[in-house]
Chains A and B, each alone.
Chain A
Amino acid sequence: MAALSVLVYPCRRLLWGLLAGPIATSWARLPARGFREVVEIQEGKTTIVEGRLTGTPKESPNPPNPSGQCPICRWNLKHKYGYEDVLLLSQFIRPLGGMLPRRITGLCLGEHRKIEECVKMAHRAGLFPNHRPRLPEGFVPKSKPQLNRYLTRWSPRSVKPIYNKGHRWNKVRMAVGSPLLKDNVSYSGRPLVLY
């Protein structure tokens, strides 16, 4: 009976543990073993237990601008995405919600920062319900009041209330959205409001 299960081999951590002593300073990237799924095949009296590499998704063929350096330039999406384009942002995040490094995804610095900011805003808006961080076992979080938000620039825990809003010439504004996205194309004709 074939049983499929996905196991994560902690090879990298084991190797680090073994080689931490003599090769502490060499930062050469050790060959990492990818995700495998364990497949058990029974043929008569012998059972073969195999770990097969799960396929990595490939870039879709025929990007509109093949001469671009980063994925966003290649697909002509430079000033056209925001925090609500979850299908785009989900390609650059890890399963637990963190961003992938720039050397892996191949994004240019500016676009990487914009996507990082949009991913943060999407997390705060609750658009990634399945990418929440893992909690320790048996931990029941306290029930907090559910507040809906969108275009949050700062983390909710880090922000203090504005008790003195200031006079007409010196107002303390409440920030909305992010200045990194100020070059975005606006099809509704209304200018982008950042404060």
Chain B
Amino acid sequence: MESLASLNLIRLENQLQKLQNQFRKLIPLHKPIYHQLSDCGDHVVIMNTRHIAFSGNKWEQKVYSSHTGYPGGFKQVTAAQLHQKDPVAIVKLAIYGMLPKNLHRRTLMQRLHLFPDEDIPEDIRKNLVEELPQPRKVPKRLDEYTQEEIEAFPRLWSPPEDYRL
């Protein structure tokens, strides 16, 4: 049976937790031909993983632990340090933890392609089919608002005449 695979693109800017809905394309529950044994998942490409955002203080609080197997080999690294060493690792570990914990997990991870920045190899870029919607709406900074929007927003209070900021 031929496998119908397509490549889908996710552009990441400032979101992590809400990826859950997006990488569902790896497990092809959206296809009517789905069967647990038929290997018909889609590839998912995620770019800009370097610009991911954590809510709360997780950059400092979240700790990624691992053990090399040797005595005294227990390593604990904060999310900020891990991101510094490898900008792709956080997204990879997050998705690995969200996939079903069975033997399919490794093959699904092989179909996930992560890139820290905008540059993607040509052969992947040519085969991209669909851009998936962004998980989180990025809020606008103060200097990204146009002058009309700033003026349209009402002024809530009037300062005293002689008050000096």
Contacts and interface: CB of A to CB of B under 8 A. Distances in A.
Interface of A: 12, 31-35, 56-60, 63, 71-72, 74-75, 83-84, 86-88, 90-91, 94-95, 100, 104-106, 125-131, 145, 147-154, 156, 159-163, 165, 174-177
B161 A86 contact: no
17 contacts: A33-B162, A34-B161, A34-B162, A35-B165, A56-B159, A56-B161, A60-B154, A87-B153, A88-B156, A128-B141, A148-B54, A149-B54, A149-B55, A159-B61, A174-B58, A175-B57, A176-B55
Contacts of B149: 87
Contacts of B83: 145, 147
Contacts of B156: 59-60, 71-72, 74-75, 88, 91
Q: Would you call the interface of chain B mostly helix, strand, loop, or mixed?
A: loop
Given A35-B165, A148-B53, A153-B56, 14 more contacts: A34-B161, A34-B164, A35-B164, A84-B139, A84-B140, A86-B141, A86-B142, A100-B165, A126-B141, A128-B141, A150-B14, A159-B57, A174-B56, A175-B57
B76 interface: yes
Contacts of B145: 86-87
Contacts of B52: 148
A86 B158 CA distance: 18
Contacts of A149: 53-57, 59
Contact of B55 (A34, A59, A90, A151): A151
B142 A91 contact: no
A149 B60 CA distance: 11
Contacts, number: 141
Contacts of A156: 57, 59-60
A34 B159 CA distance: 12
B158 A145 contact: no
A58 B139 contact: no
A86 B58 CA distance: 23
Q: Would you call the interface of chain A mostly helix, strand, loop, or mixed?
A: loop
Contacts of A74: 156
Interface centre among B140, B149, B165 (most CB of A within 10 A): B165
Contact of B84 (A59, A128, A145, A151): A145
Contacts of A131: 142
B62 A147 contact: no
A32 B61 contact: no
Contact of A161 (B14, B55, B60): B60
Nearest to B160: A104
B58 A91 contact: no
Given A84-B139, A162-B61, A152 B155 contact: no
